[in-house]
Structure 1
Amino acid sequence: VQIHRLPSYHCTSSSSTSSSSTSSSPPPPPDSPGRRLSFRSTHGSRDMSLRITRYTGAQSCHPVPKVRAAVSERGAAITAVTFNSSLLTPINVSVDPTIQVVRTQEKEQIKGLNNRFASFIDKVRYLEQQNKMLETKWSVLKEQTDAASNIEPMLKSYILGLEQQLDFHNQEKQRLDMENSVMHKNVDDYKNRYEKEIHMRTDAENEFVMLKKDVDSGYMSRVELDDRVSGLAEELDFLKTLYDTELRELQESLKDTSVVVEMDNSRALDMDQIVAEVKAQYEDVATRSREEVERWYKDKFNQMSAQAELNSDEMRNTKAEMAELKRMISRLQNEIQALKNQVVSLEGQITEAERRGEDAVKEARFRILELEQALQKTKQDMTLQLKQYQELMNVKLSLDIEISTYMKLLEGEEQSHHSVWMSFLLSLSFLRRCHLAAVFARHLFGQGYEAGAGHLTVHLTDALPQTVLLWSKVGRVRGLHPGLSL
C-alpha cells in the first residue's frame, strides 16, 4: 500500500441518496454533531490525513483543504475513496443508561491499545537499533577477521625468524662444543706433557741424588785411601828407621867381632847388597803402590769431577727446562682458565639465548593461542550474532507477514468491494453494542480493544518517521507498525 498526497474530501450523504458528490464547502466544525474517523500516518516525507465523519442530520460532501487517501498496488491507478451510502443513513439514537460506562470502558480499552501500539513501536525501534548494531558489529568483526588474517603471516615470519636464530645458536653451540673438545684435548696433552716432565724431573732428581751419593762415597773412599797412604808412608818410614837402626846395631855388634867363616863353596855373603836389594825392592813396591793409588784416585777423582760437571750441566739444563716448563704450565693454566671462563661465558650466552628463544617461542605460542582464542571467541560471537540476527530476521519476517496480513485486511476489501473497509470503519461507532467493532479491532490490533464513540483521527506526519498514530478524543490510542500505511 502506498501513500499519495491528494486533495482531501469531507464526505457526507443524505439518507435517500447513495452517490457521493464534491463541493468547495469548508469542513464542518469540530463540535458539530456526528462522528469523525481520521488516521494519521507517516511514510518517508509524505503527510496524509484521512478524516471520515458521520453526521446525524442531512449530510453533504465537502472538500477539505488537506489530502485525500488513495490506495495503489503495484503501480495501479489512483482510485478515489467511495463509501456505501446505506451505511451512512441516520439511525435511531436513543439514550442508553449504560453509555457512560461503555464509553469509560472504551476509553480505558483505547488507552490500553494506545500503550500496546506504543510498546510495539518501541519494540520495532529497538529491533531496528539492534539490527543496525549487529550490522556494525558484523562489519567490525569482518575488519577484525581481516586484521587477524594479516597478523597470522607476521606471526609466522616472526616465528620463522626465531627458529632461524635458534638454528644459528644451535650451530654456534656445536662449534663452541667442538672448540671446547679441542681445548680439552690440548689441555689433556699439555697435562700429559707436564706429568711427563714432572716424572723426568723426578728421575733427574733421583739420579742426581744417586750421583751425589756416588760422589760422596768416592770422596770418602779417597779420604780413606789418603789415610791409608799416609799410614803406609808412616809405616814405611817406621820400617826404614827400624831397618836402619837394626842395621846400625848389627853393624856395631859386628864391628868388634871378627868372624872367619870358611866354606867350601867359596861364596861370600854381601849383606850390604842384600839390604840394598831388599830396600830397593821395598821402595819400588812402595813407589809403585803409591803411584798406583795416586793414579787410581786421580782417575777416580777426574771421573767423578767429570761426572759431577756432567750432572751439574744436566741439572742446570733440567732446572732451565723446569723453569721453562713452569712458565709454560703457568701460561697454559692461564690459557686454560681463560678458555674455561670463555666456555662458561659462551655456555651462559648459549643458555641465555636458549632461554630467550624459548621465552620468545612461548610468548609467540601464547600470542598465537590468545589470537586463536580471540578468533574462536569472535567466531562464537559471530555465530551468536548471526543466530540473533537470524532470530531477528525471523521476527522481522513474522512481523512482515503480520503487516502483510494487516495490509491485505486493510486493502483487500477496498480493491474488491470499493471501500467496504471504510464502511467498516464508519460502522465501528454504530456497532458498539454488538461489539463487532471490538472483534475487528482485536483481529487488527490484538486483544483488549473494543470500539467506542468519539472522533478517531489518523494523521501522517514527518515529525515521527515510519510511525502511524491513532488518535481519538480521549487521547493517543496506539502506534501502528512502520510498514502499515493507508
Structure 2
Amino acid sequence: MSSIAYDPYFPSSSHKRRVMLRSGGYGDSAGGMASRSVYSSHSAPLSYHGSSRLHYPTYSRSSSMLLSTPRSAAAAELDISQAVQVSTEFKAVRTQEKAQLQELNDRFASFIERVHELEQQNKVLDAELLILRQRHGEPSHLRSLYEHEIRQLRAAVEEARDEKQAAQNHRDQMEEVLQSLQGRYEEEVVSREEVEGQLMDARKGADEAALGRAELEKRTETLLDELAFLKRLHEGEIAELQAQVQYNAQVSVEMEVAKPDLSSALRDIRVQYEKLAHRNLQSAEEWFRSKVSVMTEGTARNTDNIRNAKEDAGEYRRLIQTRNQEIEACRDRNQSLENQLQEVEEEQSAEIAALQESIGQLEDELRTTKNEMAQYLKDYQDLLNVKMALDIEIAAYRKLLEGEENRFSAVGPGTMSSVYSQSLCVAPSRNRPMFSMQSSLTSGAPYLRMYSSSFSSADEIIAASQAQPAESSPQEEEEEEGEKGDEEAKEEDVEEEKKAEGQYCPEFKLMCFQKKLMKVLRCQVPYLQRISTNHTVSTYR
C-alpha cells in the first residue's frame, strides 16, 4: 500500500519530491521486493493524506510470474504501455532530481564563496585589529602616561590657583591698607578743614581786632584832639575871663564894700575847671590806656593764635603732602600688583585652556578608539552570527545529503513503482529562496533545535542580505533566471546523452558533493574554534 509523505527539507510550497521507499512483498508467499514513490509537499503537514490520489498497480513477484505464462497480445501491449509510461515518469522524476541537485550545487557553491568572502573579511578585520593593537599597544602604559601628565597639569593648576589666591590675599591686604590710609586722609582733610575754619575765624578776629584798634586809635586821636581843643577853649575862656576881669577892674567904679571878690571867685572857678579838666584828662588817659592794653593783649593773643595756626597749617600741609605721597606710592604699588595679577590670571587662563583642550583631545581620541573597538566587535559579532547561521545551513544540507544518500542506497534499480498525486506536479522553482534558520528549524532535525534560541539575529542578517540584492536588481534576476533556464536545458540534454551512453551516475555525484561538503566542514572547524576563542577573550575583556 502506498501513501503520500511530505519532505520537510524542501521549503518551497509548490515543490513536490519523489521519495523512494523500500517495502516488503505484497500478496505472495515469496516475499518479493517492491518500491513505492511518493510525491510530497512542504506546505502541507506531515500527517495529511490527500483523498484525491491515483493508485497504480505495483509490480510484485507474482505479477512477474504471470508474465511468463502465455498471455494475449492485448495484455502484453497493456503491460508495455504501462512500462513505457513508468519509464517516462521515472525519466521526468530523474530530470527533476537532477535540476534539484544542480540548484543545490549552485547554492552550495554560493555558500562556499560566501564563506570564503567572510573568511577574507575576517582576515582583513583581524589584520586591522592587529594594526590597531600595535598602534595603540600597551594601553595601560599610555593610560599611566596620560594620568601622570594629567596629575602634573593638575598640580600646576593647583599651584597657579594658590599663587592666585596669595595674590588676591595680598591685594585684599593692600586694599585694606589703602582703605585705612584713605580713612586717615579723610580724617586729616576734615581736621585740616576744621583748622582752616579756625584759622579763618582767627583771621576774622585779628581783622576785627585790627579794625577795633584802628577805631580806638582814631578815637584816641579824636579824644586827644578834642582834649587839646578843650584845653585851648578853656585857656581861651580863662584868658577872656581874665581880660574881662581886668577890664572890669579898670573901668569899674568904686564898689560897695559888701560885694563879693570876683578875683577870688574866678580863681575858684579856674581851680574847679582845672580840676575838672585834669580829672577828665586822667579818666580819658586811663580809658585809652585800658583800651590800648586790652587791644594790645587781644592783638598779642591773636598773633599767638595766628602763629600757632600757621604752624599747625604748615605741619598739616607737610603731613598732607606726606600722606599724598604715601597714597600715590600705594596707588602705584596697587596698580603694579593688579597688573601682575591680571598677567598671572591671563597666563593661568591660557594654561588652563590649553590643558582643557589637551584633555578634550585625549578624551576624544579615547572615545574614538572605544567607538572603533565597539564597531569592530559589533562587526565581528555580526560576522560570527552569519558564520554560525551558515554553519547551521551547512548542517541542514548535510542532513539532507545524508537522507538522499540513505534513500538512494535503499532504492533498487529494478523494483520501482510509482504512486502519483492528483494535485499539480509543478517543476521546482528556479529562484527558490535560500534556507533560513526558520525553515531549518521546522525540518525537525535535533541538531538545528539546539541553535534555535542562540542565532535568531543571524536569520535576520541573512534575510536582509538576500532581500537587498533582490530589491536592487529585479531585472538582472529575471535575466539570470532566463540564462539559468537555458543552461539547465542544455545540461539536461547533455545528461540525457550521457544517460543514453550509460554514463549517468547520480550516486557518484552525490558522493563527490558529500566529499566536498566534508572537506569544507573540516576546513571550517579550526576557523570556528579560533573565532569562538577570540570571541570569548574579547567578551572577557
Higher fraction of helix: 2
Q: CA deviation at 1:374?
A: 2.3
Q: Shift in Å at residue 231 of structure 1?
A: 0.8
- C-alpha displacement of 1:345: 3.6
Instruction: Count residues in correspondence.
Output: 340
String of CA shifts for 1:66-117, please: whole Å, max 9, x gaps. xxxxxxxxxxxxxxxxxxxxxxxxx9xx993466555544443333232222
1:156 is the counterpart of 2:143:
yes
TM-fit CA distance, 1:170:
4.4
From 183, 202, 206, the counterpart of 2:190: 202
Q: 1:330-345, aligned counterparts within 5 Å?
A: 331=332, 334-335=335-336, 338=339, 341-342=342-343, 345=346
CA distance, structure 2, for counterparts of residue 381 and residue 194 of structure 1: 79
Look up the equivalent residue of 2:211 and give its one-letter code: V
Matched, 1:231 2:219: yes
Q: What is residue 416 of structure 2 aligned with on the other side?
A: 435
**Alignment CA distance shift 1:121-1:260 (3 Å):** closer
Distance 1:313 1:236, change over 3 A: same
Q: Which is further off, 174-183 or 101-110?
A: 101-110
Query: Residue 472 in 1 paired to residue 499 in 2?
Result: yes
Partner of 1:356: 357
Determine which structure has greater relative contact order: mean sequence separation of CA pairs < 8 Å that are 6+ residues apart, divided by chain length.
1
Closer, same or farther: CA 185–143 of 1 in aligned 2, 3 Å: farther
Code of the aligned partner of 1:110:
R
Query: Could you tell me which amino acid in structure 1 is paired with residue 513 of structure 2?
Result: P
CA distance in 2 between counterparts of 1:340 and 1:382 reads: 61
Aligned in 2, Cα 1:404/1:97: closer, same or farther, shift over 3 Å?
Answer: closer
Give 2:229's aligned residue.
241
Task: Report the CA distance between 1:369 and its aligned residue.
Answer: 5.2
Return the letter of the residue paired with 2:389.
Q
Q: Quick one: distance in 1 between partners of 2:154 and 2:358?
A: 6
CA contact under 8 A between 2:498 and 2:504: conserved in structure 1? Answer: yes
**Post-superposition offset of 1:240:** 3.4
Separation in 2, partners of 1:99, 1:167: 101
- Secondary structure (helix, strand or coil) at the match of 2:513 reads coil
TM-score in terms of structure 2 length: 0.49
In the TM superposition, what whole-angstrom CA distance separates every residue of 1:158-206 from its partner, at most 9, and x where no partner exists? 7526743345334423432332233233223323322331332232123
Question: For 1:285 and 1:223, how far apart are their aligned partners in 2?
Answer: 21
Q: Which residue number corresponds to residue 374 of structure 1?
A: 375
How far apart in 2 are the matches of 1:109 and 1:397?
22
1:285 aligns with 2:286: yes
Match of 2:308 in 1: 307
Give the fraction of aligned pairs with identical amino acids, expressed as a percent. Answer: 10
- Select the residue among 99, 114, 117 that pairs with 1:115: 99
Deviations 1:259-291 (A, max 9, x none): 6779xxxxxx98899689758856863674476
CA distance in structure 1 between the partners assigned to 2:515 and 2:273 by the alignment: 187
Q: Which moved more, 1:273-282 or 1:291-300?
A: 273-282
Paired residue for 1:128?
A: 112
Q: Secondary structure at the match of 1:435?
A: coil
CA-atom RMSD, angstroms? 5.0
Query: For structure 2, which runs of at least 5 residues remain unmatched after alignment?
Result: 1-67, 69-75, 247-260, 420-426, 429-494, 517-541
Please state if 1:216 is matched with 2:211.
no
Q: Deviations over 1:136-174 (max 9, x none)?
A: 344445445555656444773575267433453344234
Q: Is the partner of 1:473 in helix, strand or coil?
A: helix
Amino acid paired to 1:135: E
Stretch deviating more after TM superposition (154-163 or 195-204) = 154-163
Alignment of 1:17-36 (within 5 A): none
- TM-score, length-scaled by structure 1: 0.53
